[in-house]
Amino acid sequence: MLDHPGQIAAIVPCKDEAERIAATLAGLARIPGLTQVVVVDDGSADDTALIAERAGAVVVRHPRNRGKAAALTSGLQALGDAPPQAVLFVDGDLEASAVELAVLVPPVLAGEAEMTIATLPPQASAGGGHGFVVRLARDGIARLTGRTMSQPLSGMRCLSRAAVAAALPLARGWGVEVGLTVDVLRAGLSVREVPCALQHRVSGRDWRGQVHRAAQYRDVWLALRRRSWARPAAGG
């Protein structure tokens, strides 16, 4: 647990990011007002945790891989009972571009939005799927909330305390982003997409990429299905 909660914190869930985590943390260190960084090592087989500790991050270790939602939850728990005004959710592979997440923070601190979501430019690395998961997510969010998101699977976000409270418990696995959007909007809180010049590793179209997208499709479908059964919060 962190002893001195500040205004802005970042949670970085990651697995086997030893090659990129140091550069990502260096990028985060350049964000004004960021005083807390929690790296959740979700069952890595490499030196991700050791490198993050050497870079000055608080590190939470999962002995085995538990998935992105569980890693984010562990990160939030590490912030303790006095959370900061704004919490960034950060992928571990952003490297130097992580500094660009700074644009997500001002609308949240100013009370103009309770959650901001980064929209990314075309990526330099090759890869990507066929859009099936994106369409499922976009259509499901629109059906449940009336809001059409341009990049519904973007994991880079900034949340206020109210947004964090509305989003818990997080949707499981790779359904976490869709669950966040639906739950925060249904709570009657404002959500804003913000262009952000981020670069990250894109999943390939080899068998590993296909397995990842199948798991992503399953988790997004489950998040939407469970929220189809649930009644929206009052005012949401």
Mean pLDDT of the chain: 90
Residue 1 lies in a domain: no
CATH number of the domain residue 163 falls in: 3.90.550.10
Q: Among candidates 143, 139, 129, which has minimal Cα distance to 210?
A: 129
The pLDDT tens digits for 87-105 are: 999 999 999 999 999 999 9
Residue 46 lies in a domain: yes
The pLDDT tens digits for 108-139 are: 999 999 999 999 988 666 555 568 999 999 99
DSSP string, the chain: --SS--SEEEEEEESS-TTTHHHHHHHHTTSTTEEEEEEEEES-SSSHHHHHHHTT-EEEEESS---HHHHHHHHHHHT-SS--SEEEE--TT-GGGGGGGGGGHHHHHTTS-SEEEEEPPPPSS-----SHHHHHHHHHHHHHHS---SSTT---EEEEHHHHHHHPSPPSGGGHHHHHHHHHHHTT--EEEEE-----PPP-SSHHHHHHHHHHHHHHHHHHHHHHHSPPPTT-
Residue 3: pLDDT band by 50, 70, 90 thresholds? Answer: very low
Residue 57 lies in a domain: yes
Residue 200 lies in a domain: yes
Residue 3 lies in a domain: no
Residue 1 predicted with pLDDT over 70: no
pLDDT value of residue 91: 95
Residue 234 predicted with pLDDT over 50: no
Domain that holds residue 159: 8-229
Residue 173 lies in a domain: yes
> What is the identity of the amino acid at 17?
E
Residue 80: pLDDT band by 50, 70, 90 thresholds? Answer: confident
Neighbour count for residue 137 (Cβ, 10 Å)? 25
- The distance from CA 217 to its chain's CA centroid, rounded to whole angstroms, is 17
Domains held by the chain: number: 1
Residue 117 lies in a domain: yes
Residue 2 lies in a domain: no
Bridge partners, 36 (sequence order) = 9
The pLDDT tens digits for 201-214 are: 655 555 465 676 78
Cα gap 17→81, rounded to integer Å: 29
Quick check: 95 and 27 in contact, CB under 8 A? yes
Mean pLDDT of 30-39: 96
pLDDT value of residue 150: 95
Q: What pTM value is reported for the model?
A: 0.88
Radius of gyration of the chain (CA): 17
